Structure 1
Amino acid sequence: MPELSPGELGRVRARFSLFAVLNVVSFTLLSGNIITLYVLRLGGGSFLVGLLSSFMYIAYLTMLLGRQMAPHWGMTRLMGWFWVLRYLCMLPMLLAPLAASAGLPAVAFGLVLASVLASNAARGVAMTGYNPILGEIASERDRGAFLAQNQAIQHAVTVALGVAMALVLGWRSTLAMYNAFIVAGVAAGLWGARLVFTFPEPSRPSGPGESLLRGLAESFRQRTFRRFILLYFFSTLAIYMAVPFLVVFVKQVYSLPDSQVVYLTVVGSVGALLMALASGFLIDRVGAKPLYFVFTSILTITLLAIVLSPALASGVGVWLFAAALFLFNNMGQFGMLNASQTYFLAAIRREERLNLGVVYYMTLGVAGGIGSLAGGALLDALGARFAPATAFRLYFGLCVGIFLVLLGFITRLENLGAYPLGDALGMIISPRDLRAIGLLHRLGRTRTLAEEKDTLRALAGSPSSLSVEEVLSRLRSPRFSVRAEALQALATLPVEEAVVQALVSEVKNHAFTTAAQAAEILGMRRVAQGVPALRRALQSRDYILASAAITALARLDDRESLPAIREALRQSANPHLSIHAASALEVLRDPGSVPVLLERLRRKNPPFLRDELLLALAGVLGMGDWFYSTYSEFLEKGSIGLSLLRELAEEPESSRIPRSLLEELLGRFPLSDKAYFASLAAELLTHLPVVVSGVDLAPTLAEAIADPRLARLERFSFLIAAAVVWFASHS
């Protein structure tokens, strides 16, 4: 099948969603709790309930027949016609009440058994095509969200339908009313079958997909599939040992009427709806395996509540307890099935969907049938020896033990792109990560440039490793502003290997655009792997990139780059590059850079560049923070700056220079006699060590102030005066 265009895919998905709604209507009316209540109304017991539940899943064995028919019929034609047959097979069951009223219960039960068995057998043949069709419709990127979205729609319909059925059964709970439900379910199912014929035909499988046994043998040699399918078998067995008998539990232990039980199924559908919403929100972000674990835990805790269930006398208490059981039971049960299907589709190749889809549903059928049948028999045996409440506690206690073992095996599954289990669980309970997931969903729905940029900006404010992949993909945007916003977001996200590689690539390949921003981030986040690319960027014709690379290398304390940074300051006529080079030398506190800074000061410089050079010198000398504030005051008003120097000189901490000489030096401001000030300052410096990283810079500074080209600069003279006072006070 050729790949569907976005428009075609959208229309096919819309038809599939309508099919899913009709299917859930028919399923709700023709299976599960309605059939259980129907059989109980006819006089059936737990064994018959378990037997009927087993038919639903044993029917998946007929997928083997469907597998043989698929190459001749085609997937959509096979699924469509057997979907029709599935619902027609339910019609004989309508005669069961007549047989029961005629005193022929065996005939009544036989009609029900035959109808359910034949319907599910036809369903099994039809389901052969389901996974291949679904695999074509559910793209890999948002597969989990698409499946969960459809489940959310289905369970919302189930809630509405359940409320309606509860109201009807509360008014009239008769076999005739159940027959009306069956007729409505058949009608909805036939309508949905019409839609199946409109689905695209999947591509024919090739290679191992041509032979079921060969494909299965090859897949079982893969540890990932082998572990999953075995776990899936026992998970399904455990689910259907427990779930079908929850209705029996509340009816036999708490004596709830049919109408109340239907209301409970509505509450259960709410739980399934909440599961679908949670799965749609999380599964494509954290992965299927963590959610498999979470929903299995929820179901385990729910069953444990039954084991520990108190003796309740209040009608309200009984109903609330039962409602909680149904809510979390469905949340856990359907969550496990949704996560397992998502994991299964991720674990197999496209050409394996037909064969392994058959294996998947056969596993579901065999395990579900064994679980339901064995569960019903075991529950009847316990019921014969113990009171109902005790029998159910013992039974569900066994189920809890099985689920606890399964939780251990889930942790051993391959991650398949999911986050490690511990990390994923932390994300699920982290408000920051949950907000990031919400923003990522919003990013996927953006339709305008402004929305995309706003969302990227919001992601920068909620740093999470979950955002990395989506933000990195925005670096391929054709729009510069989007790429810039994506880089700004990366500045706050965890520094993963993919982020490092992307930033390095930006520095190497995107000069004059985003390279400078990437270089800045490499320095700000202290990414040592970026040093080679940053060193090469020092020679770039993009002076903004070269400036950013200089700053980044300084932050990374890359002293091997010192000669190149000094040379950039010495040679560059670009003030922007010169400022960054001076600042980098200040950060590195390189005493060997002082002569270079002084050399640059001797040249004609704009005032703002001269200020940066002076501040860089102060920083290298180790008095940068103090000098910046003092120098700022001096520039505002010279007398205030000098007063600050006098205050420091008056502190009785130094014995190297007499206070009178410091007063004499400062008294020369404003510079009425520049030569005298310069000679006095040079003389004081000869008696005052100015040591930086083991190098005494006093002789260099004395030589500098003696140079008329520098001594004429009042701001430089103020720096020298400040240095004398500072080191005299801090010796």
Structure 2
Amino acid sequence: MNEQAATPETPTNVEKLRLLPWSIASEAMNSIFSQFTYWGPPFVLFFSELGLSNTEIGFLFSLLPFFGLIAIFVNPAVARFGYKRSYVRYYTLRKFITLFLLFVPWINIRFGGRYTLLYSTIIFVLFALSRSIAITAYFPWRQEYVPDSVRGKYAATNNIVSQLTGMAAVVFAGYIVGRSDDINRFLILIAIAVIVGLISAALVTRVPGGAPVQLTQAGSRLGETLSTLRDANFRYYLLGLGLVTFANAPESTFVPLFMRREAGLTESQTILLQTGVLIGGLASTYFWGWASDRYGSKPVIHSGLYLRLLLICGWLLIPRGSVATLPIALGLAALQGVTAISWVIGAGRLLYVSVVPPERKGEYMSVYYAVLGLFGGLSQLLGGRLVDLMSGLTGEFAGITLNPFMPLFAISLLLTTLGVWLFYRVSADNDFSVVEFASMFVHGNPFSALSSVARYHYARDERAALRATTKMGITRSRLAVEELLDALQDPRFNVRFEAIIAMARLEDDPRVSAALQEIAIGNELSLTAPAIWALSRMGAANAVGTLRRGLDADFYSIRAHCARALGTLNDVQSAPLLLERLQQAANPGVDIAYASALGNLKYEPAVPAILNLWDVAETQGQRFEIGLAFARILGDERQYVRLLRSVRADLGTTIAQALTPLKSEIAEQAGLLATLTGCIDAFAGQALDHGVELLVALIGQLDPETLKPAEWLVLEKCSILLGKPVDSALEVIVLVVDLLLTTRSRLAGSDRH
């Protein structure tokens, strides 16, 4: 439909946000109306007590969704009249129609069940007609007055408030129904519902938007409305919607009857189950709304549908007439609430944000509501008929007690599974898949992460923001990624710095990696180094290209950090480039970084170039790192580090103990054995200088032919360096011992004397 907004002008987002609470208040009042009447367990029990069969009850409730089919016919008139005006008028009218339900018991007593069904049908038809016209106006109006940026948050807040009021309504309804066996207890609820419903209608008049629209001649035709079905994405959405609706719709009607007749619950307990539904919905509403705004609609939809499959299995397996029946039923009711809210929020957001183009909202929404009505009506009508046809189903199969409701649950299980598949075909409003979404709750500590996210948003000052940012990193959860990315844009330097450190604790994430790479090649030098380190720490393999370019940075410190990061990421292809830079000997500090990276890469051709660094190393830390590079390439890194830690406390004892196992390897080499034994004894007796002399002698007795060229080259260099004082040659002594232990299987034939 081609629409042009008429006066008044479309409200601004500021005005929409200011007036949204009126919509929430109206929905809250309507939830009370719904629980007391057409969508609450008391209403089903009311007609059941009047003596209507399952088929008749299913027929009555099928009228509500079936009349949604008129949406495609009345939409042009509704649009011309104004979405808001149409909604308010027919939304109010249906409350007055509901008043006539108060006469149903009198009709039943005076004229009997046949006329009771006829009278109830007339009321349902009139109510369904006015409801369908109102909802035809409601969907496009709601798409207008709720900004997309807060759609998930609005849905969550709206549902929380509605669930709370609905919960109070259910508790009150349970109290009223449980007080007596008189049919009048249901009439009290209906009367209260009408009053509260009229209050809801008054509140919604304050919501903005919904002005009349002018329709072009083409846009007024039914064919133009049906042309929306050419949209493949819309078709997939409608098919998925239809199947899930067909599977879900009987819940409100037949699950209460199942719990009452088959599970053995009382009427009061059956109504109490609705409290469980509301609690489950309330507990999960904010989470689903938050998740849909952040990760998109499809992960929320699919998560809810998978949980629904578990719910149906729970209904199939629930014990009958047991002490545990009520607690289990309440647990399943809570799960039902969780799945229902995930469907409402996820499917609604997907519809408004990704499926329906705003410029044709009237046409799309009318078709949507018509399809919703068709499948919803069929499910109620056929569901009731199926339960009646299976009224004689009893016995047991595979440990499951058979009953008339069993085929209904089995069909629901099948259709929900098909719905899951169909929604995979709908174009997403976000790139997150359900697997990625679920994985966020497997890695790290999701509960602590959500708590830290809340603290971050409510941090009062820099110190509080720093604590929250640190905590988000410690949780190692991807649920905090959005907040950490936001922290990178914080005006406070310390928060940005802490965000980088926190990101380093996460597993590789494409968005985090991209953000850190921007910083790594940026001009804020104080953050560049930690960003490069964080990339290597989190294992960001896709950052290799950025890090290689960093080897040409103007600042030596950036080159050094990039080199170390490439080594940490095990980028073997960078080894020749790193060796080339090392051979150019630009700066001792950078050269040490090149050597460290080449050691990480175990690049043996770099050994000669690294050997030259020993002569220019300025600090003990640099010498230790050079020794570590050789240990990684030729020896055993773990052994080297362990020995280096131990020699700081007791050099002699550590070296003597480390060399002792070599004696068994060279037992048949008298010359080597004698030198080795003397060396061990000297170190054990704390004659360190003499022990070093014998260690040099031991190297001289080795046969180079039994060693790799690089190993012999390093040992020769070490024998020269061991001429220095012992305290300044710790790493050399440790490296020699490490290499001897690593090559000991080849030392048996090494005695040249």
Q: Is 466-475 or 685-694 further displaced after alignment?
A: 685-694
Whether 2:227 is the aligned partner of 1:237: answer no
1:493 aligned partner: 506
SS state at 2:666 partner: coil
Alpha-carbon distance change, 559 to 154 in structure 1, aligned in 2, over 3 angstroms: same
2:65 aligned partner: 57
What is the TM-score normalised by the length of structure 2?
0.78
Contact 1:238 1:403 in 2 (8 A): yes
The CA deviation at 1:572 is 1.8
| Residue identity opposite 2:582 in structure 1 | R
SS state at 2:13 partner: coil
Taking the TM superposition and a 5 Å limit, the aligned residue runs for 1:411-560 are 411-414=421-424, 416=428, 417=430, 420-421=433-434, 432-433=445-446, 436=449, 439-440=452-453, 448-555=461-568, 556=570, 557=572, 558-560=574-576
How many residues get paired? 713
The CA deviation at 1:53 is 0.8
1:190 aligned partner: 198
2:577 aligned partner: 561
Whether 2:414 is the aligned partner of 1:404: answer yes
Alpha-carbon distance change, 159 to 389 in structure 1, aligned in 2, over 3 angstroms: farther
Taking the TM superposition and a 5 Å limit, the aligned residue runs for 1:159-558 are 159-201=167-209, 219-241=228-250, 243-249=252-258, 258-273=267-282, 276=285, 279-280=288-289, 285=295, 287-305=299-317, 310=320, 312=321, 336-351=343-358, 352-380=360-388, 393-414=403-424, 416=428, 417=430, 420-421=433-434, 432-433=445-446, 436=449, 439-440=452-453, 448-555=461-568, 556=570, 557=572, 558=574
Aligned counterpart in structure 2 of residue 82 of structure 1, from 77, 86, 90: 90
Distance 1:428 1:637 in 2: 48
| Residue identity opposite 1:341 in structure 2 | G
Contact 2:299 2:432 in 1 (8 A): yes
Contact 1:22 1:191 in 2 (8 A): yes
Aligned counterpart in structure 2 of residue 571 of structure 1, from 586, 598, 602: 586
Distance 1:292 1:418 in 2: 18
Distance 1:422 1:721 in 2: 52
Q: CA offsets per residue over residues 330-360 of structure 1, 9 Å max, x none?
A: 6655654554334433541441443222222
| Residue identity opposite 1:153 in structure 2 | V
Contact 2:395 2:402 in 1 (8 A): yes
Aligned counterpart in structure 1 of residue 29 of structure 2, from 18, 22, 30: 22
Contact 1:290 1:424 in 2 (8 A): no
Contact 1:12 1:137 in 2 (8 A): no
Contact 1:287 1:418 in 2 (8 A): no
1:120 aligned partner: 128
Alpha-carbon distance change, 450 to 51 in structure 1, aligned in 2, over 3 angstroms: farther
SS state at 1:571 partner: coil
Distance 1:646 1:234 in 2: 74
| Residue identity opposite 1:403 in structure 2 | L
The CA deviation at 1:12 is 3.4
Alpha-carbon distance change, 539 to 175 in structure 1, aligned in 2, over 3 angstroms: same
Contact 1:26 1:189 in 2 (8 A): yes
Aligned counterpart in structure 2 of residue 31 of structure 1, from 27, 31, 38: 38
| Residue identity opposite 1:550 in structure 2 | A
Distance 1:103 1:623 in 2: 96
| Residue identity opposite 1:56 in structure 2 | L
Distance 2:174 2:230 in 1: 49
SS state at 1:411 partner: helix
Distance 2:193 2:73 in 1: 26
Whether 2:4 is the aligned partner of 1:4: answer no
Provide the identity percentage.
Answer: 19
Alpha-carbon distance change, 18 to 685 in structure 1, aligned in 2, over 3 angstroms: same
Q: CA offsets per residue over residues 436-482 of structure 1, 9 Å max, x none?
A: 45655665565654454444433433434555455445434444333
Taking the TM superposition and a 5 Å limit, the aligned residue runs for 1:645-684 are 653=666, 655=669, 658=672
| Residue identity opposite 2:87 in structure 1 | M
Distance 2:499 2:203 in 1: 42
Alpha-carbon distance change, 689 to 140 in structure 1, aligned in 2, over 3 angstroms: farther
| Residue identity opposite 2:410 in structure 1 | V
Tell me how large the CA RMSD over aligned residues is: 4.8
What is the TM-score normalised by the length of structure 1?
0.80
Contact 2:472 2:502 in 1 (8 A): yes
Distance 2:324 2:689 in 1: 93
Taking the TM superposition and a 5 Å limit, the aligned residue runs for 1:586-665 are 586-588=599-601, 593=606, 596=609, 599-603=612-616, 605-606=618-619, 609=622, 612-613=625-626, 622=635, 653=666, 655=669, 658=672
Distance 2:250 2:688 in 1: 96
Contact 2:95 2:197 in 1 (8 A): yes
Distance 1:279 1:329 in 2: 14
Alpha-carbon distance change, 722 to 157 in structure 1, aligned in 2, over 3 angstroms: closer
Distance 2:439 2:217 in 1: 40
SS state at 2:526 partner: coil
The CA deviation at 1:551 is 0.9
Q: CA offsets per residue over residues 560-603 of structure 1, 9 Å max, x none?
A: 223354157x3326x5x455344335434556655555555545
The CA deviation at 1:298 is 3.9
Distance 2:38 2:451 in 1: 36
| Residue identity opposite 1:531 in structure 2 | V
| Residue identity opposite 2:559 in structure 1 | A
Q: Is 188-197 or 89-98 further displaced after alignment?
A: 89-98
SS state at 1:198 partner: coil
Contact 2:563 2:597 in 1 (8 A): yes
What stretches of structure 2 of length at least 5 have no aligned partner? 1-9, 748-753
Distance 2:326 2:658 in 1: 82
What stretches of structure 1 of length at least 5 have no aligned partner? none
Distance 1:258 1:631 in 2: 76
